[in-house]
Copies of this chain bind each other. A is one copy, B any other.
């Protein structure tokens, strides 16, 4: 088979020949940063259209232009939560001529080096487990960074974007809501993680829950450290069997909340009569369980909008900012049958 490499290799030179102008002229037409005589401009534009030419982004990036790639680091690509968010960001990015590269969080040091290879104009970090010192390293290196504030990032120095997605306030509201319904014995169910990556106190959801419980002088129980949903279910059942019966359960995300709910049901408790359950993320799961699950909804579209907004600002004028850009978003609690 013949190599058809040529088909993808329409270069500036081809356009110059096709349009009968210098390569320089082609560049200036594309970048629009110098006056070019109307006639030449038209010829170039026609040639570009005719040959479907697009300047090679790598060559441009090499010369200091943008690569038009943004990296999104997530720790749970699988979850529906990120799916929606990525999908929204992708839509906005496409309009700005950007591509989104998606990557799970990797713990090895080499990961940062790989990112360093200069491919990305900016990085969005939506992972709760990406090491702080690595984030700092990337910021210090001058790469535009936008952080989704899943945990406490107040120690991070420098210029970057910070999007507080309202996890902390949302979690506090869950506690307030449960409290107002007379619930006093609250149970927090942490995420399950095969890699042992559970929430610590700088996790905003757990912290919001704990802080608000303190306000009410409640003594909540936290179930953490499970590697599978089955393990979590068993732990909850043990807890119930041992005589500790909560009257309110807050799951770190919807599936977790549902695992808890099912465990309660299995032990003969009624949701919501005996125990109220609230989840987080308001995924589709909420509408199909029985009872349907109340859940905290994060404003995905708003987040996506801010991610791109901050990223574009940082990419274009990073050096003009004195300190980090911040925005605080709200969550809303979607009430269904489980409370």
Contact = CB atoms under 8 A, between A and B. Distances in A.
Interface of A: 1, 3-5, 7-9, 52-59, 61-62, 67, 69, 71, 77-80, 82-84, 86-87, 90-91, 94, 97, 99-104, 106, 113-114, 116-119, 140-143, 159, 255, 258, 262, 284-285, 288-290, 319, 321-322
A299 B117 CA distance: 34
B1 A319 contact: yes
A288 B57 contact: no
Q: Which 10 A-B pairs have CB atoms at the shortest separation, nearest pair first?
A: A58-B58, A77-B87, A4-B142, A7-B141, A8-B141, A101-B101, A54-B117, A290-B290, A288-B289, A57-B117
Counting chain B CB atoms within 10 Å of each CB, which of A78, A90, A97, A113 scores highest?
A78
Nearest to A300: B78
Q: Is the interface of A mostly helix, strand, loop or mixed?
A: mixed
A116 to B, nearest CB: 6
Given A99-B103, A103-B94, A1 B67 contact: no
B1 A117 contact: no
A58 B59 CA distance: 7
A9 B52 CA distance: 33
B102 A86 contact: yes
A199 to B, nearest CB: 20
A91 B116 contact: no
Which of the listed residues A52, A101, A140 has the most CB atoms from chain B within 10 Å of its own CB?
A101
Contact of A322 (B1, B71, B82): B1
A90 to B, nearest CB: 5
16 contacts: A4-B140, A4-B141, A7-B140, A8-B143, A9-B118, A56-B62, A57-B119, A58-B67, A77-B83, A77-B86, A78-B83, A82-B83, A90-B103, A90-B104, A94-B103, A101-B101
A69 B285 contact: no
Contacts of A69: 69, 101, 119
Contacts of A83: 77-80, 82-83
Contact of A56 (B59, B118, B289, B319): B118
B117 A104 contact: no
Nearest to A97: B114
A58 B285 CA distance: 43
Contacts of A58: 58-59, 61-62, 67, 118-119
A82 B319 CA distance: 38
Contacts of A84: 78
B100 A102 contact: yes
Contacts of A8: 116, 118, 141-143
Contacts of A3: 142, 319
A58 B121 CA distance: 13
